[in-house]
Amino acid sequence: MKALRLHAPGDLRLHDEPRPIPHAGESLLRVAAVGLCGSDLHWFNESGIGDARLVHPLVLGHELAAVVQADGRLVAVDPAIPCGVCEYCLAGASNLCPQIIFAGHGSQDGGLRQELSWPEKHLFDLPESMDAIDGAMLEPLGIAIHSLNLAQMQVGMQVGVFGCGPIGLLILQLVRLAGAGRIVATDRLVHRVEAACELGAGLAMQVGADGFLAEQQKAVGERGLDVVFEAAGENPAVESAIEAAKPGGRVVLVGIPSDDRTSFSASVARRKGLSILVCRRMKQTYPRAIQLVKSRKVDVRSLVTHRFPLESAQEAFQTAANRAGLKVIIEP
């Protein structure tokens, strides 16, 4: 089978490798679709993410859907395998498990290959109305769901989404669905601002455009926003989120900074008494994500703007790194 491995920053190589052999409790899968995430781009550009570094040629990819070889079922693949017995797993916070195994991270190969074996209990059957592209989008949707849970948003609240990449746009759809009174969205890229408008933002603004700061201040108003989601992975967006939140408000940090540092004005955050929360992947969200897509309450398909075969992975990663379009999918 073909497998794509990252050897060094920007160095992707296609290898011929033996087919994986499933262990007890695992199924052999034919990979159908893999989404490229911002965290994949950190590995691609920097050979790591945070304190996790590339130690051997790694198969990236954790947003994936596949076909079970034994019976032809189309499934979404939960990339996280927690230990199941630590205090965090037993408390329902398996995303915080210290022993967690995660596809395409550290020493665990991910989905950018033609076949893989994975525990059956971490596979989720997809209904006939959903295809492999939909299935690959469930992992970022799960992160958006977890982010909304952290925010404790209530109907009628004023909400900001700062950063309108795929996850930011999924968060935007969820806060609209949850009954946000008004949604203010920002991004540096015009096409993402336009996508935010199409998906329900009451006001979407381009960061850095003429008059942006005055427009944002007017949109936020003297009261400020009840909840702000930072999904850009850039420190200016964090600062803007802190400034825009109302006293007693909540700021949810979803983006991953490339320099592994987040900073903001402590005096502003302290004076406002803000609750600042950090999103760590997701937990137990696949069934809800499937239902949201199946019922068409959340639109994932319109976010997929580029599709590539495995042989064109270098172009796919460069397209994603250039922030062209929205979501890039590779179909092994």
Spatial distance between the Cα atoms of 319 and 326, rounded to a whole number of angstroms: 10
Residues 126 and 169 in one domain: no
CA distance 162 to 24: 44
How far apart, in whole angstroms, are the C-alpha atoms of residue 235 and residue 254? 12
First vs last C-alpha separation in the chain: 10
Let me know if residue 114 belongs to a domain.
Answer: yes
- pLDDT tens-place string over residues 96-132: 999 999 999 989 999 999 999 999 999 999 999 999 9
Q: How big is the CA angle at 167 (ends 311 and 173), to the nearest 5 degrees?
A: 130
Give the chain's radius of gyration (CA, Å).
20
Query: Do 119 and 167 sit in the same domain of this protein?
Result: no
Residue 219 has pLDDT above 90, yes or no: no
What's the pLDDT score for residue 253?
98
Both 132 and 147 in one domain: the answer is no
Q: Do residues 260 and 164 share a domain?
A: yes
104 within 8 A of 112, measured Cβ to Cβ: yes
Give residue 37's pLDDT band: very low, low, confident or very high (50, 70, 90). very high
Residue at 263 is within a domain? yes
Whether residue 155 lies inside any domain: the answer is yes
Q: Is the pTM of this model over 0.85?
A: yes
Report the C-alpha gap between 196 and 219 in whole angstroms.
Answer: 15
Measured at the CA of 242, the angle between CA 200 and CA 192, to 5 degrees, comes to 35
Structural domain tally of the chain? 2
Q: What percent of the chain has pLDDT over 70?
A: 100
> Do 131 and 15 share a domain, yes or no?
yes
Q: Is 309 helix (H, G, I), strand (E, B) or coil?
A: strand
Q: Is the predicted pLDDT of residue 307 greater than 90, yes or no?
A: yes
Give the CATH number of the domain where residue 47 resides: 3.90.180.10
- At 73 the pLDDT is 98
Residue 269: pLDDT above 90?
A: yes
Residues 128, 30, single domain; the answer is yes
* 210 contact partners, CB below 8 Å, separation of at least 6: none
Under a CB-based contact definition with an 8 Å cutoff, are residues 97 and 83 in contact?
yes
Q: Are 206 and 120 part of one and the same domain? A: no
Q: Flag whether 255 is in a domain.
A: yes
Quick: pLDDT tens for 7-32: 999 999 999 999 999 999 999 999 99
Instruction: With beta carbons less than 8 A apart as the criterion, state whether 43 and 58 touch.
Output: yes
* Distances from the Cα of 232 to the Cα of 68, 239, 271, 295, angstroms: 35, 11, 24, 28
Handedness of CA 242, 52, 42, 99 (dihedral sign): negative
Specify if 294 maps to a domain: no
Nearest to 7 by CA among 52, 61, 43: 43
Residue found by looking up tokens 């990252």 in the block: 6
Kindly indicate the confidence band of residue 150, based on its pLDDT and cuts at 50, 70 and 90.
Answer: very high
pLDDT at 152: 96
Q: Hey, which residues does 306 pair with through a beta bridge? A: 328
Instruction: Determine the structural domain holding residue 208 and report its residue range.
Output: 142-278
User: How many degrees, rounded to 5, is the angle at CA 64 between CA 96 and CA 188?
Assistant: 80
- Shared domain for 207 and 133, answered yes or no, is no
Segment 150-170 mean pLDDT: 97
CA separation for the pair 50, 259 (Å, rounded): 8
Residues 189 and 97 in one domain: no
Answer yes or no: is 319 within a domain: yes
Q: What is the DSSP string of 68-94?
A: ETTT--EEEE--EE--SSSHHHHTT-G
Q: Crossing angle, helix 235-244 and helix 212-220, to 10 degrees? A: 40
Same domain, 321 and 230: no
